Amino acid sequence: AQKVTQAQTEISVVEKEDVTLDCVYETRDTTYYLFWYKQPPSGELVFLIRRNSFDEQNEISGRYSWNFQKSTSSFNFTITASQVVDSAVYFCALSEALGNKLVFGAGTILRVKS
């Protein structure tokens, strides 16, 4: 069975600090996909990144970066120089190769204080 664990329930940082959100997954599939979604206080779910299991290259998008390590089954998300607008709930999710069924972690609440 697939499982996603986000062990950090809530993180508080001060603006401009760097913060890393952890995501550990379990799957028996050799082909799978990993996602990060952001849920701001307004409640909608915003797609951030998709990564397939054959692509272990780290990715950087502005202040956001992702570190995918198959050896430790982790897909961590780092925000550099955090801003108040980064305050949200962040979800890591996993889907199998066939079909688009997402298995979500419990989410990490990020609070960025000015």
Give me the residues that bind another protein (CB under 8 A), please. 4, 6, 9, 33, 35, 37, 43-45, 47, 50, 52, 91, 93, 95, 97, 99-107
Query: Checking DSSP bridges between strand 32-39 and strand 46-52, what pairing results, if any?
Result: antiparallel
Pick the closer one to another protein by CB: 13 or 102.
Answer: 102
Minimum distance, C-beta of residue 22 to another protein, in the bound complex (Å): 14
Rg of the chain (C-alpha set):
14
Closest separation in Å from C-beta 58 to another protein: 19
- Of 74, 79, 78, 110, nearest to 94 by C-alpha is 74
